[in-house]
Structure formats: C-alpha cells, structure tokens
Amino acid sequence: MTDVIDLKSKLAAFHDTWHPRVIGEANGQLLKLAQCEGALEWHSHQAEDEVFLCLEGRLVLELRDREVALEAGQLFVVPRGVEHKPRAEPRASVLLFEPKQTQHLGGAGGAREVAVDDQEWI
Amino acid sequence: MTDVIDLKSKLAAFHDTWHPRVIGEANGQLLKLAQCEGALEWHSHQAEDEVFLCLEGRLVLELRDREVALEAGQLFVVPRGVEHKPRAEPRASVLLFEPKQTQHLGGAGGAREVAVDDQEWI
C-alpha cells in the first residue's frame, strides 16, 4: 500500500536539475518530480503524452510554433510527437505524469538522458 | 493542441461537490477536478488505480484498515480494488488522475454516480 506523498518534502530531497525522480505509480504511469533551471534539449516522445504541472517558479515550454508559460498551479499536456524544449525562468519545480516507458529526452540521448531503467524513486 | 490549464480558474468554474469535471487527457487517463464537502460513499475501482492530489483544504481517505489525511500539496494513490471513502474536513479541492473508463463510484450506482459518458469537460 502506498503512503502519503508530500510534494514539498520530496522536492527538498534532491537538487540536481533536469533529473526527474519517481514518487508514485498508477495505471502504468509514473508520477515524477523535477527541479528545473535553464533549458533542456529539444525532444519529443513519439508514443507518450506528457503532463507538466508547475509547482513552483515559472516553466516555459517552447514548441515549434509558440511558447507556453506555466506558473505554479498551471498545467499543460504536451501531446505525443510534439517537439518541445522546456526552459525554467530562472527556476521551476514540476510534477510530471507520463507512461513508465517514457524516455526522458525521447531517445535522443546526450549527457542529460536518464535511462528508463535507471529512474530513481524517492 | 491543448492550452494552459489553470487549476484555480477551473476550480472557480463550478461549485457542486463530489461531481468531478474533466480538465485534460493524456495517455488514456483523465485529469479531473473535484470540489469536496462532507463524505462520499464507500466504493472501489476494480481495475483502476486512482491518484488524489489535494489542492486546497483537507481530504481524508478512509480505508478499511486506516485513514489517510491529505492537505494541500499531498497526494495518495488508491490502488485498484481497495475500498475507500473520501471525506473532506470540512471542504477540499482535489485533482484526480485516473483512466477514462473509471466509474466515479466504482459502479455501485446511487444518486451521486456520474456515468462515464456523462463526464463534463470544463
């Protein structure tokens, strides 16, 4: 049985940016938290929609045709296949909800990729 | 393409309790908001885990062997098959994340059931 998950306590448990931690699971989807600062690479997820809920700060999602700005209490669903480049101004904390098999950078690789099997629970 | 979803604005758009509204969809799951006051019926969802994120107030989830209390910024996953009775003390606003086919009261019926096909988007 799961326990109560306190978002603020979980966020206080790690500080590295663009490295999501898993905090829960439901229906084959993972709940993750991420600390964000500066920008991540352009990427997309071919088969997974990605839910971003901004908890603190300001997160901008650059899309190819526009930008979407999220402040605390605002969420956005990036549909599968849509290229996006998250950028924090200057920092943000985000709750993500996405399928277990979602690759952090959509499989593009790079130094900030986190392998699906290496995702850390906190 | 979806738009930014502002939770406070969406919550201000309805006031009836225990009648979730749909605000988004991702990967076959719906994001819903609910206003809660008093208690709902005991029920369970046989095939669906249910994520509760408390946004305002205090939501108690009575389980058969314990109670789980959620305040703003705390979440809990009720696993499939686990009987639960949500109760707000005295009021709460909640974000739910669950599969599209999830029945509000697990199929038990009653005056407060909301048919899956009747779920209202806001």
Q: Under a CB-based contact definition with an 8 Å cutoff, are residues A78 and A46 in contact?
A: no
Q: What is the pLDDT of residues A52-92, one digit of tens each?
A: 999 999 999 999 999 999 999 999 999 999 999 999 999 99
| Chain B residues with beta carbon closer than 8 angstroms to that of A29 | 27, 29, 97
The rounded distance, in Å, linking the Cα atoms of B13 and B20 is 12
pLDDT exceeds cutoff 80 at B92: yes
The verdict on B46 touching A (C-beta cutoff 8 Å) is no
In 3D space, the residue among B19, B18, B22 whose CA is nearest the CA of residue B37 turns out to be B18
Percent of chain B with pLDDT over 70: 99
Domains parsed from chain A with CATH numbers: 7-118 (2.60.120.10)
B4 and A74 in contact by Cβ < 8 A?
yes
The rounded distance, in Å, linking the Cα atoms of A120 and B94 is 27
Question: In this structure, what token pair is assigned to residue B109?
Answer: 């019926």
A51 and B24 in contact by Cβ < 8 A?
yes
Q: What is the pLDDT of residues B6-63, one digit of tens each?
A: 999 999 999 999 999 999 999 999 999 999 999 999 999 999 999 999 999 999 999 9
The rounded distance, in Å, linking the Cα atoms of B32 and B53 is 10
Average pLDDT, chain A: 94
Is the ipTM beyond the 0.85 threshold? yes
B6 and A79 in contact by Cβ < 8 A?
no
B6 and A73 in contact by Cβ < 8 A?
yes
Asked if the bond preceding A90 is cis, omega within 30° of 0, the reply is: yes
